[in-house]
């Protein structure tokens, strides 16, 4: 009787545990009514798969049990270097008993550069940046590269070698000839202003020295006029002092003019409009 009772209790225990499932992949026991499944595939094998930022395996993955609720799936990109290539990523809400199928698809990041660099890159008529520039290879893969002074180039990202596309722009000879002419004109204007700068420096220097000289001569004439007792000599020295004063004033005006011209030409001799 006891033997039959033990057998009956064992059978009841087995059936009571049948409502639970053990997820061997993760070692976590989950109620069977809280389980969903995911299948993850891709044209590339052995790519790392992450569920909610935790690695759960590699491509392909079949009937992997997960808890119900919100989840995120990430499959690492097969392209190198991986740090600048977009991974496959998706989010979903798992319902009990449902199976979810994901197919990892990927786009490439192509490094586009040009000779010369710093050229504008257009895709679908919109400016997306300047070279060198990473461009995602999806949708319309044609791009246009433009730079002032060069003929625009249209190319296809599919022509990239691995993940690199280099485009050489052809120069516009007329544009460069006009630019060279403008540069020569600018240099000529700047050279002329520098010559005027040196002349204004000379004017300010000489007129300043003359102003000091005429001031000293004026003072000496005034002293001589004060020292003499002869009226005719006093009148002579006073007339001399007045002439030197006028010369001093004129040379000082020339000094101020030269000083202002020096400042103007110094500021403008480094560039031309």
**Can you give the pLDDT of all 273 residues of the chain as single tens digits?**
444 444 444 444 443 443 333 333 333 444 557 899 999 999 889 999 999 999 999 999 999 999 999 999 999 988 876 667 789 999 999 999 999 999 998 888 899 999 999 999 999 889 999 999 999 888 778 999 999 999 999 999 888 887 899 999 999 988 888 888 888 888 888 888 888 888 889 988 998 899 899 899 889 888 888 888 888 888 888 888 899 889 988 989 989 998 898 888 888 777 655
146 phi and psi angles, rounded to 5 deg: -135, 145
CA angle 222, 249, 238 (to 5 degrees): 20
Instruction: Tell me the helices (H) and strands (E) count for the chain, helix number first.
Output: 3, 16
Name the helix (H) or strand (E) containing 250: helix 231-268
- List all residues 6 or more positions away from 102 whose beta carbon is below 8 Å from its beta carbon: 38, 39, 40, 41, 73, 75, 88, 90
Q: Which CATH class is domain 2-104?
A: mainly beta
* 41: exposed, middle or buried (Cβ count in 10 Å: 0-12, 13-18, 19+): middle
In the chain, the N- to C-terminal Cα span, in Å, equals 115
Pick the closest to residue 114 from 146, 159, 76 (CA basis): 146
Between CA 263 and CA 124 the distance in angstroms is 52
- CA torsion through residues 49, 50, 54, 56, sign: negative
Kindly report, as residue ranges, where domains of CATH 2.60.40 are found in the chain.
2-104
pLDDT score, position 209:
93
Kindly report, as residue ranges, where domains of CATH 1.10.287 are found in the chain.
175-268
* SS3 assignment, position 228: coil
The CATH code for residues 175-268 is 1.10.287
Cis status, amide bond into 60, omega within 30 of 0: yes
Both tokens assigned to 74:
């990430």
Between CA 23 and CA 134 the distance in angstroms is 42
């Amino acid at each position: 009787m006891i033997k039959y009772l033990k057998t009956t209790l064992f059978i009841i225990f087995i059936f009571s545990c049948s409502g639970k499932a053990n997820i061997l992949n993760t070692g976590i026991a989950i109620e069977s009514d809280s389980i969903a499944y995911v299948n993850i595939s891709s044209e590339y094998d052995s790519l790392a798969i992450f569920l909610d930022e935790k690695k759960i395996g590699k491509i392909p993955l079949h009937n992997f049990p997960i808890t119900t609720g919100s989840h995120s799936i990430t499959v690492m990109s097969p392209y190198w270097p991986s740090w600048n290539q977009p991974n496959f990523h998706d989010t979903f809400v798992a319902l009990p008993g449902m199976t979810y199928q994901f197919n990892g698809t990927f786009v490439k990041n192509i490094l586009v550069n040009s000779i010369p660099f710093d050229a504008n890159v257009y895709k679908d008529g919109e400016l997306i940046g300047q070279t060198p520039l990473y461009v995602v290879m999806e949708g319309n893969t044609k791009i246009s590269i433009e730079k002032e002074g060069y003929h625009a180039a249209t190319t296809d990202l599919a022509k990239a070698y691995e993940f690199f596309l280099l485009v050489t722009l052809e120069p516009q000879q007329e544009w460069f000839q006009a630019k060279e002419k403008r540069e020569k004109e600018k240099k000529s204007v700047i050279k002329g202003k520098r010559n005027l700068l040196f002349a204004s420096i000379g004017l300010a220097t000489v007129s300043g020295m003359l102003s000091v000289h005429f001031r000293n001569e004026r003072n000496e004439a005034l002293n001589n006029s004060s020292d003499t007792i002869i009226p005719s000599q006093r009148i002579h020295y006073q007339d001399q002092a007045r002439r030197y004063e006028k010369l001093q004033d004129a040379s000082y005006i020339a000094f101020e003019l030269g000083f202002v011209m020096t400042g103007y030409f110094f500021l403008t001799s480094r560039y031309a409009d």
